[in-house]
């Protein structure tokens, strides 16, 4: 198995990023992880993660109190799942961040 890991920044300031980990075997995608992270109080904080942990593709929205909102995403291939995860994080990272910050302030 081959692991590929990289980081993609979402803003010019370098304060928001997507960390990606892909696992392949014989050129076939076997496992994926896409995680949106932002800086809060000068530390990287994970906000949303897509992965195949627990044996199925899903999204975890991480909350300031440590809880997770888990949602199964039913997509037929890991390639399509990866495209979905990447596009969602690129399109909605600001919304995810604002939601997290609002919940953080209520904590």
Kindly report, residue by residue over 27-80, the tens digit of the pLDDT: 999 999 999 999 999 999 999 999 998 889 999 999 999 999 999 999 999 999
What whole-number distance in Å separates Cα of residue 16 and Cα of residue 3?
23
pTM: 0.94
CA dihedral (29, 18, 85, 51) in degrees, to 10, reads 60
């Amino acid at each position: 198995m081959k692991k590929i890991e990289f980081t993609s920044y979402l803003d010019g300031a370098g304060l928001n990023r997507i960390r990606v980990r892909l696992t392949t075997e014989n050129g076939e995608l076997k496992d994926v992880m896409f995680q949106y992270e932002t800086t809060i109080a000068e530390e990287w904080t994970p906000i949303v993660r897509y992965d195949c942990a627990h044996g199925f593709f899903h999204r975890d929205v991480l909350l300031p109190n440590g809880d997770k909102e888990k949602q199964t995403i039913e997509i037929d291939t890991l390639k399509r799942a990866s495209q979905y995860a990447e596009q969602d994080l690129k399109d909605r990272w600001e919304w995810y961040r604002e939601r997290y910050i609002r919940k953080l302030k209520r904590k």
